[in-house]
Structure 1
């Protein structure tokens, strides 16, 4: 956002190249860019352009404002499965739950702790944005459906995840309790995602650290499995799981509080930073 106008651009070392102003007629929104697989064309065109705005002049929103679906994967790293201490091996299929776009904010915006609970927790994750529609996508073809990568802090209200017998949806969907961003990094090939280092820090302290090569369910498997029951469409976001080390697993648990800073960082994708604030 700039001067209360939604737009998109190319992030460079010198600032933001305002692509939405230049290509409004052809690609009026970032969703159209995703729909038409236009990242490569935009990058080529923008490479010779000078920045129009500094990072300080814009407000980050989530990179896909109106995704049809945001689907999250739970328990996708070996140590996360062991945290449950139930003696069970990792399941054959991923655990999934939906999140709503309103439950996320952009990079640099505060995550909101609601008055209903103090148990706001963090979960640093890698997210993939779908660029090509498909149903029952074979694993061998799955990566062809990725448009871009981004980061997520899949913030959770822990006690509200136990309000019902099976359901975690409530605790995963408080308004502005998570973040996605800071930007979309166009997907190139499997080497780009095969062994990404993913780290979450709270107030500078490393709380989570793992690599995508250790995921129980690969990016291919996640796309294959989710597309079995629902058609994936351009702009959908799949959030692929968090490493061990969330605040709920400390003894006693350590919850996020106003003033805390959470950073999620991953090789080749960037750094997502958000402060914590109480709901006004």
Structure 2
């Protein structure tokens, strides 16, 4: 199943994205289930209730809705830095592969949704792209064993983990300022349930204006999904609706010589077979 949050006729709801029988559109779950938002449905661990509507004809045609960020108010968002081996090599510091994941956090307002602008703020001209696969937690857990990670993941979505490169270097370990500008990144286009995804064989591709910039697979992750959940849940409880961005491959704009940062009008696409395509156009933030 594919869960979406959408807008139609000025109203916001959530539902199932259907692509069956020659009809593409949305089954409106917001008017069928007692949960006001997709966030609330996941928090209640009620995803199974939606399965009864999987074969229902769409209430809204695809062209009549605007998809929004799937989760509007997630509680926790952890991001894993440097999780592909070629990405570690890009730092050219001769460092060994790290024994633990590097983590930082992002806030909900730092993400826009599918086909919405990602914004370059007036304070920086170093907006960069980072295509990533996102885990959506569906069952609470503390000290989760790596072997049990699938029991806690409800599904997957995609992210462009947009970064202001100069703002991540203001301090020796100061990543947070460069990662949390309003609408500097994006999430979407939907959440694909875990039963529909082969997590060990996902290929992540990021394109800018049609040019492939990043291309790697989850088979090469330095910290696989199970190890990430095991590590994070050691020090805090993971709860339904929390999300984890699992790292970006080599090829971000900052690593070119000279750097190739994003400018207004650039189109960034993050695509993973089995999950979907997240597309955004870059714009300057209004002062």
Question: Residue 157 of structure 1: CA displacement?
Answer: 0.4
Q: Is the 8 A contact 2:45 2:240 kept in 1?
A: no
Q: Which residue of 1 aligns with 2:249?
A: 243
Q: Which residue of 1 aligns with 2:27?
A: 17
The one of 46, 50, 53 equivalent to 1:38 is 46
Q: Give the SS at the match of 1:7.
A: strand
Q: Give the SS at the match of 1:8.
A: strand
* Mapped pair 1:204 → 2:214: no
Q: Which residue of 2 aligns with 1:70?
A: 77
Q: Is the 8 A contact 2:128 2:262 kept in 1?
A: yes
Equivalent positions of 1:77-116 (< 5 A) are 77-116=84-123
The one of 165, 168, 175 equivalent to 1:168 is 175
Show structure 2 runs of 5+ residues with no match. 1-6
Q: TM-score, normalised by structure 1?
A: 0.95
Deviation digits for residues 195-217 of structure 1 (CA, Å, limit 9, x no counterpart): 10110000000000000010000
Q: Is the 8 A contact 1:39 1:186 kept in 2?
A: no
Distance, in Å, in 1 between the alignment partners of 2:86 and 2:112 is: 28
Structure 1 stretch displaced more, 2-11 or 63-72: 2-11
Q: TM-score, normalised by structure 2?
A: 0.93
Q: Give the SS at the match of 1:227.
A: helix
Distance, in Å, in 2 between the alignment partners of 1:40 and 1:107 is: 25
Distance, in Å, in 1 between the alignment partners of 2:31 and 2:49 is: 16
Question: Residue 63 of structure 1: CA displacement?
Answer: 1.1
Q: Size of the alignment, in residue pairs?
A: 276
* Mapped pair 1:272 → 2:287: no
- Which structure is higher in strand share? 2
Distance, in Å, in 2 between the alignment partners of 1:20 and 1:46 is: 14
Q: Give the SS at the match of 2:155.
A: strand
Runs of 4+, deviation exceeding 6 Å: none
Distance, in Å, in 1 between the alignment partners of 2:52 and 2:211 is: 38
Q: Which residue of 1 aligns with 2:238?
A: 232
Distance, in Å, in 2 between the alignment partners of 1:174 and 1:249 is: 21
Distance, in Å, in 2 between the alignment partners of 1:58 and 1:114 is: 28
Question: Residue 4 of structure 1: CA displacement?
Answer: 3.1
RMSD: 1.3
Deviation digits for residues 70-125 of structure 1 (CA, Å, limit 9, x no counterpart): 11000000000000111111100000000000000110100000000110000000
Distance, in Å, in 2 between the alignment partners of 1:151 and 1:99 is: 15
Deviation digits for residues 46-75 of structure 1 (CA, Å, limit 9, x no counterpart): 31x221223333232221111110110000
* Mapped pair 1:181 → 2:172: no
Q: Is the 8 A contact 2:139 2:239 kept in 1?
A: yes
Q: Is the 8 A contact 1:147 1:187 kept in 2?
A: yes
